[in-house]
Structure 1
Amino acid sequence: MAATRTPVVFIHGLWLHATSWQAWAELFAARGYEPHTPGWPGEPDTVAAARRHPEAVAGIGIDDVTAHYTAIIRALDTPPVLVGHSFGGLFVQKLLAAGLGSAGVAIDPAQIKGVKPLPFAQLRSGFPVLGNPANRKRSVALTKSQFRYGFGNAIPADESDTLFDAWTIPSPGRPLFEAAFANFTGNSPAAVDTANPTRGPLLFISGGKDHTVPDVVTRAAHKLYSNSPACTDLRRFPDRGHSLALDSGWTEIAESALEWLTAEGVGPAQ
């Protein structure tokens, strides 16, 4: 009888389509995992369709996305490994804290409630959305130059443009507002139970040149878990930007995550 493959659910962030995880899914499958790359609620199946129908995701918030992935995970036979980038990393933390994953990898995760640093680069990256309060109910698309600043600043301009053309889609503005004002909101959907002692192991990965989620923000999130006895690790890549999960150096990040999962004993038997 064939051994059951370890499920892994990949969760993308704002402005990227679920298919941007394709290379990761193929690598993890080759290492014995069963990959799943579901999009956000309402997200069309292709990049082209998502660009044609930005209204499909307008108004979707953190709680909506969390509920969507909760239903997907509960339909699996066993708790999966959770891997998320940017806002996907925030969802990894929420889902793992709720006992819905065996382990989590949060790559340059959007800030959760309690994270206090707010660097200028992060403010500038979020301004295309946060600069207009009406965007809370809209979906917003980045321009190529905005993507270059927020995602592709640590890679050559032509590579940034290629990634923009391949994977970017309009995304809801609401999650960015919810995260930005989390520390001023009593029941913020960006809150995470960081003290949970029974959750699975969690790895933070940060890029030292990230403008969208600067390294200091990821380090601050990691520090919030200091009161939990559960495993919480941090790996930093000083020369990488927010595109680290999909640019030409993505394998370095993926292999680091795979190595950590093996060390924690939550991946397939080697």
Structure 2
Amino acid sequence: MSESTTNHDHPVVFIHGPWPHSSSWDPCNLFKSSPNTVDTPKAERSPLLLTSGSENHTAPKVIVEQPVNLYAGDSKSVTEYHEFEGRGHSLTIDEDWDDVANVTLQWLSSKGF
């Protein structure tokens, strides 16, 4: 990343959760009877777009693909993944954040929103 990308006018804080980056460790997935369990292959839901940067070392593609595969399953609902080439983890606050916004808006428009 360029120096201008990392020099923010506001403090940037990264907070890591207590669980490893894996849906298998999500406490809601440990107990399928949990009221917080998500019915991932549910057929009726809004389209879902998951994004990541190709240089994202916090949540790399292999991690983002896990929920893509979970939600896609046998679902009749749309689940898609978009990778931003050369981008890191902070897609929406880095330089060129508007590229992310434009891709997302185009995707929403293609889904009828």
Q: TM-score, normalised by structure 1?
A: 0.35
Correspondent of 1:250 among 73, 82, 97: 97
Equivalent residue letter for 1:203? L
The offset of 1:159, in angstroms, is 2.6
The structure with the largest helix share of the pair is: 1
Rg: which structure is higher? 1
* 1:259 Cα deviation from its structure 2 partner: 0.4
Q: 1:158 Cα deviation (Å)? A: 4.9
Q: Which amino acid aligns with 1:239?
A: G
Match of 2:51 among 202, 205, 213: 205
Report percent identity of matched pairs. 29
TM-score (norm 2): 0.77
* Deviation per residue, 1:54-92 (Å, 9 max, x gap): xxxxxxxxxxxxxxxxxxxxxxxxxxxxxxxxxxxxxxx
Alpha carbons 2:41, 2:75 under 8 Å: kept: yes
Q: Give yes or no for contact 2:46–2:78 (8 Å, CA) kept in 1.
A: yes
Match of 1:166 in 2: 10
Q: Residues of 1 paired with 2:105 and 2:86: CA distance?
A: 20
**What are the ranges of 5 or more consecutive residues in structure 1 without an aligned counterpart?**
1-154
User: Distance in 2 between the 1:169 and 1:230 partners?
Assistant: 34
Residue segments in structure 2 that go unaligned for 5+ positions in a row: none
- Give the letter for the 1:200 counterpart: S
For residues 35 and 13 of structure 2, the distance between their equivalents in structure 1, rounded to whole angstroms, comes to 26
Q: Secondary structure at the match of 2:91?
A: helix
What secondary structure sits across from 1:256 in the alignment?
A: helix
- d(CA) in 2 for partners of 1:232 and 1:170? 27
CA RMSD of aligned residues (A): 2.5
Question: Which structure ranks higher in relative contact order (CA pairs < 8 Å, sequence separation ≥ 6)?
Answer: 2
